[in-house]
Amino acid sequence: MKILVCIKQVPDTTDIKWTEHNTIQREGVESIINPFDVYAIEEALKLKKTHDNVEITVLTMGPAQAEAILRDAIAVGCDNAVLISDRKFAGADTIATAKTISSAIKTKLSGFDLIICGQFAVDGDTAQTGPSIANDLNLPQVTYVKNIERYEEDYIIVKRILDEGTEIVKAKLPALVCVLKGNEEPTRPLINGVIKSQNANIPVYSMVDIGLVENEVGLKGSPTFVRKTFRMILSREHQMVSSVREVIEKIEEFTK
């Protein structure tokens, strides 16, 4: 069984810096693996521990410094890693990001049985990238997965969390799942894993390598954009309103 885990590097700071295009500045900022992606790795590792011939590859899109989180993933038990990196990828929205990752999978990483993503990224919280990858690759998808219950032949059985309860879903492979945070303690690296991660050869693929052109990636390939960013300020001040219309007017006033 071949598993691909898509992970993301996110800023490990509350002092977020923004570019002139209202996208998060990532270079030169201390970063970590997106917390939801840690549990995506955990679900892959659990399958590896309970089944033979499971190979885990981790993939991320980002600047050169994102290689660090790939090595962290290898240190805890993943087998291979791939970095998609090109300055032209900067400023990509979720649509352009998914297109870039999907193109990398099609051209360089085909043949996977299961793709696992974190449900959310804490720097964006849109939950759009994983489902968009599944759509681009024409794969069945299951979102809001709490854990992968088991794998049998060409299927996986997962438990997903809904507003009204839980649901058990059987999905035919190849498929993509987006996972929530689990209850278990994330795997810690052992010395052999750290040594393996330090010696690992991590290929880096550019825009040209994965068969894309400039108007398909980054800001140029993004049909959406961030109009305005602001930091939420918590206050005990409050105002009384008498109608839904007044609430809408207050929100519009605040976001102008």
Helix (H, G, I), strand (E, B) or coil at 63: coil
Please determine, for residue 22, whether its predicted confidence score (pLDDT) is greater than 60. no
Q: Is residue 123's pLDDT more than 60?
A: yes
Render pLDDT for 49-107 as a digit per residue (tens, 0 to 9).
999 999 999 999 999 999 999 999 999 999 999 999 999 998 888 999 999 999 999 99
Burial bucket for residue 186 (CB in 10 Å: 0-12, 13-18, 19+) = middle
Rg of the Cα atoms in the chain: 20
| Residue 179 pLDDT grade (very low, low, confident, very high; cuts 50, 70, 90) | very high
38-52, 119-133, 181-195, 229-243, range with the lowest pLDDT:
229-243
Q: Is the alpha carbon torsion for 208, 210, 214, 215 positive or negative?
A: positive
Peptide bond into 186 cis (omega under 30): no
Q: Looking at the domain that runs over 2-225, which CATH code has it been given?
A: 3.40.50.620
**Amino acid identity of 112?**
F
pLDDT over threshold 90, residue 124: no
Residue pLDDT, tens place only, 138-147: 999 999 999 9
What are the sequence ranges of the domains in the chain? 2-225
CA–CA distance, 23 with 21 (Å, rounded to integer): 6
Q: Give the per-residue pLDDT at 186.
A: 92
More reliable by pLDDT, 28 or 41: 41
Find the helix or strand (DSSP H, E) in which 255 lies. helix 244-255
What pTM was estimated for this model as a whole? 0.83
